[in-house]
Amino acid sequence: MTIDETLAREQIEQRRPTMPEGDAGGGRRRHRSGGILAPTAVYVACVLVAIVAIGPFLWMLSSSFKEPGDVISLTPRLLPHPFTGENYAYLINNGVLPFLRFLGNSAYITVLVILGRLCVCALGAYGFARLQFRGRDAAFGLLLASLMIPDMLMVLPLYSAYVETGLINTHFPLIIPPIVANTFGTFLLRQFFLTIPREYDEAALVDGASHFRIFVSIILPLSKPALATLAVLTFVNVWNDFFGPLVYLSDVDKFTVPVGLAFFQTQDSTQYGPLMAGATLAIIPTVLVFVFAQKYFTRGISMTGIK
């Protein structure tokens, strides 16, 4: 059984633009500039908006390298004059709130959830997109319905269930439910799998491949863009999750970055320097992932016809 992967990929590329609504298909170009302003005015407005959007982050970054006296200066300057790593050193060595530990906890939880979620959601998506079995449509309906239940309705019973089973104050509630109960990811991947031509599975079935083999050797390799999108969305959600860790954890050693940062704030609300250093460390991974994931966002946008 040999499948020409390149050919397959090309066919998918051709099919995919029809997936989202819009009229991007066929490479038709837009004539309209779309704007109601002259180009110069657009640029001026864009620069202003960009300053508003990232200005606070730049200031945060700069202040994290300032000396304590300069952070809270009444005449703020953007570039730290005496440039110092003191705030980061304090953040890491203060002994009360081990920030490196928080980073480590967040990192391992995030990585586990991403890997686990990709497996569980992809398996489920394959089942729903490609297999026939009794109860399939009912199970799919159940997943759809579960999307409408607000989190608040399940937090309290889950909390007491974790207390009873001794899983409270462990990382279990932050890892296992996000892996096995992710309906959104299952839908996302199912939508993508449906766009992959069925002929491939059939050729492979005729050649005697099992469904698991088809899933691993054909569907997954062809679905890298969708898997990457789910991975990025999962990263942003899990890394930034605040409510879960706040509710389920009590030992400082087990905290994740957002909870650690929040505690840092209530403990030392006047020490802006270390706080800014902590906030910087908290957002660096997201910014990196976001920059890396840019092409998926832009592809999503270009698929809908915007250039």
Amino acid at 51: I
Contact 142, 79 (CB under 8 A): no
Separation between Cα atoms, residue 238 and residue 230, nearest integer Å: 12
In angstroms, the CA 104 to CA 43 distance is 41
Distance CA 21, CA 276 (A): 42
- Euclidean distance between the first and the last CA atom of the chain, given in angstroms as a whole number: 40
Q: Footprint of other proteins on residues 80-119 (CB under 8 A)?
A: none
| DSSP code at position 166 | T
CB 8 → other proteins: shortest distance, Å? 18
Span near other proteins by CB under 8 A; candidates 7-15, 42-50, 95-103, 220-228: 42-50
Under the binding rule (CB under 8 A), the answer on residue 79 touching other proteins is no
The reply on whether position 135 binds other proteins by CB under 8 A is: yes
The residue among 111 and 161 lying less far from other proteins, judged by its C-beta, is 161
Q: Which is nearer to other proteins, 190 or 254 (CB)?
A: 190
Specify the length of the chain in residues.
307
Q: Tell me the site size for other proteins, rule CB under 8 A.
A: 119
- Applying CB under 8 A, does 288 fall inside the site for other proteins? no
Please give the DSSP secondary-structure letter assigned to residue 130. H
Write out the binding residues for other proteins, residues 245-264 only, by CB under 8 A. 246-247, 257-259, 261-262
**Which residue matches tokens 């250093």?**
277
Place of tokens 């899933």: 215
Backbone φ, ψ for residue 251 (5° rounding)? -75, 130
- Judged by beta carbon, residue 38 or residue 111, the one nearer other proteins is 38
The 3-state DSSP class for residue 307 equals coil
- What's the rounded Cα separation, in Å, for the pair 254 and 104? 10
Q: Which of 4, 31, 79, 251 binds other proteins (CB under 8 A)?
A: 31
Nearest-angstrom CA–CA distance, 155 and 57: 32
Q: Under a CB-based contact definition with an 8 Å cutoff, are residues 226 and 186 in contact?
A: no
Shortest distance in whole angstroms from residue 108 CB to other proteins: 17
Applying CB under 8 A, which of residues 1, 49, 89, 111 lies at the interface with other proteins? 49
If one asks whether residue 36 binds other proteins (CB under 8 A), the answer comes out as: yes
Q: Considering the complex, state which of residue 34 and residue 208 has its C-beta at the smaller distance from other proteins.
A: 34
Q: Which parts of 203-242 interact with other proteins (CB under 8 A)?
A: 211, 215, 236, 239-240, 242
Smallest distance, other proteins to C-beta of residue 135, A: 8
Regarding 8 and contact with other proteins (CB under 8 A), the answer is: no
Q: Is 202 in the site for other proteins (CB under 8 A)?
A: yes
CB count in 10 Å sphere of residue 215: 21
Q: Does the protein bind other proteins through residue 156 (CB under 8 A)?
A: yes
Backbone angles phi and psi of 213, in degrees to 5: -65, -45
Least distance (Å) from other proteins to the CB of residue 243? 6
